[in-house]
Structure 1
Amino acid sequence: MPDELDVLERHPKTSEPGELMRPHNMTCFGCGPESPHGLHLEMYAGEGFSVDAKMPVQQWMEGGPGVIHGGILSSAFDDVMGMTPRLIGPAAVTAHLQVDFLQPIPVGKTLHLHAEILGKQRRKIYVEGVAHLGDPDRPVARANGLFVQIDVRAHFADHVENSAKAAEYLGGKPQL
């Protein structure tokens, strides 16, 4: 992380601490309630520049026998950490994500995820994530990520027509 960081300010229109945050989009794999095969994470704004979520580790998430698949855990971190930029302003996308798997995470348990912005420099946002099974002092995984703020319309312009919600995003225009 760079030495010189921007001063962080909570965006005036963001969720208040303890409030449910709206999904990235309704069909987002991580937080979209309309994603047919998604994680359906409900994320809550935390104090300062943090976001929290809980995720039941279900049987369909199994990787090794009786434990979560590492890709599912990585997806959950990506989504929770990717929600933190909304606390300070414009949307951001993942540029880099690193996950450290500290302990096996059993199917049938509830995973608690916490993400916090460590700093920002221009468009780059540095975020840390931690996961535990109910005891914050005993993490089962950690993650670090770099997110880059974007102009949403420009960033997704060439791909929005592929979305399940293309008509909504394109203002009711029919798909080509």
Structure 2
Amino acid sequence: MKSSFVVPTDLDPVQRHPKAAKAGERMRAHNPMCYGCGQESVEGLRLQMFAGEDFEVTAAMDVPARFEGGPGVIHGGVLSTAFDDVMGMVPLLIGPAAVTAHLEVDYQRPIPIGSRLHFTATLLGRQRRKVYAEAVAHLGDPDQPVATAHAILVTINAREHFADHLSNSAMADEYKARMSRP
């Protein structure tokens, strides 16, 4: 398989951000309407993510019938969405928010409807604004992965990045009020 994912050798030093969730603590959603982790997203995945030791994020997700792709198994796009969201939490352990610039998913085994999927995402390093992460999904046995993923995320200034799109959100007024605060 050809991959364009390469972690540079000249990585910047990183340390856990002083305001990052402590190991074992639940991490705050990207935003309440986030399809991956937002509790206000009616049809979303509603991932609950927890900070791990060092630079890890863990999550679990039930696989209900509405996530079906092939007969009796999860749709690959739902799985890639979950990976995107879990790895998207990793930068929050070291600093500012980031958005996904590159995502690769390797599907290894079918994931049955009705199962519970577990994720662990890990920081591989940072180089300037780029954050490199990897993740593994399994059905309860970490030694038996069902899928793996890699991502490159780019840190952003959230106020600037989302400013032109706030009016598209179901929570537009609330977001505009938040963004106008100093």
What TM-score do you get using the length of structure 1 for normalisation?
0.97
Residue deviations 1:40-81 (CA, integer Å, cap 9, x gap): 000000001010000011100000000000000000000000
Quick one: which amino acid aligns to residue 37 of structure 2?
C
SS of aligned partner of 1:158: helix
User: 1:36 offset after TM fit, Å?
Assistant: 1.1
Residue deviations 1:92-111 (CA, integer Å, cap 9, x gap): 00000000000000011100
Tell whether 2:69 aligns with 1:63. Answer: yes
Give 2:53's aligned residue: 47
Give 2:41's aligned residue: 35
Aligned equivalents of 2:36 and 2:70: distance in 1? 21
Quick one: which amino acid aligns to residue 24 of structure 1?
H
Q: Which runs of 5+ in 2 are unaligned?
A: 1-6
Residue 134 (structure 2) aligned to one of 128, 133, 158? 128
User: 1:172 offset after TM fit, Å?
Assistant: 7.8
Q: Which runs of 5+ in 1 are unaligned?
A: none
- RMSD (CA atoms): 1.1
SS of aligned partner of 1:43: strand
Residue deviations 1:13-37 (CA, integer Å, cap 9, x gap): 0100000000000000000000011
Aligned equivalents of 2:126 and 2:8: distance in 1? 9
Give 2:85's aligned residue: 79
Give 2:4's aligned residue: none
Seq. identity, %: 61
Tell whether 2:150 aligns with 1:144. Answer: yes
From the superposition, tell whether residues 55 and 172 of structure 1 become closer, same or farther in structure 2 (CA, over 3 Å).
Answer: closer
SS of aligned partner of 1:170: helix
